[in-house]
Amino acid sequence: MLLSLAVSAPPWVLLIAAFCAGFCISGGQKSVIALAAIFYSAPIRSTGVGWALGIGRLGSIGGPFLIGVLLAYQLSAASLFYGAAVPMLLAGILVMLLGVKYKTP
């Protein structure tokens, strides 16, 4: 039902929603890099940030591949969107908690 509501919405609503989703995802990725720089000590900071970026690259390759495989198994687009929302929500919550825990004065 929610997906049909989104598809039948005016184009400007979809553009705003896509912009907000992209903005938040990009902001989340940048905050993970910033938190990795705070989390690791100076001697290993570049290695820690490099690993954080590398793992992110694996996700950017594996995510579309996984969605393609799931679409080949005839899963609906709505179920894929709902399934993708759960890890994004968890990641957002975890980034927020990391920010609170490692907040610098």
Angle between helices 77-101 and 11-39 (to 10 degrees): 40
pLDDT digits (tens, 9 = 90+) for 17-58: 778 777 777 777 777 777 777 778 888 888 888 888 888 788
Handedness of CA 48, 49, 52, 58 (dihedral sign): negative
Q: What is the pTM of this model?
A: 0.56
Residue 56: its pLDDT value, please?
79
Tokens of 77: 């687009």
Residue of 88 and 43 predicted with greater confidence: 43
State the average pLDDT over residues 63-82.
86
Contact (CB, 8 A) for 80 and 71? yes
- pLDDT score recorded for residue 1: 47
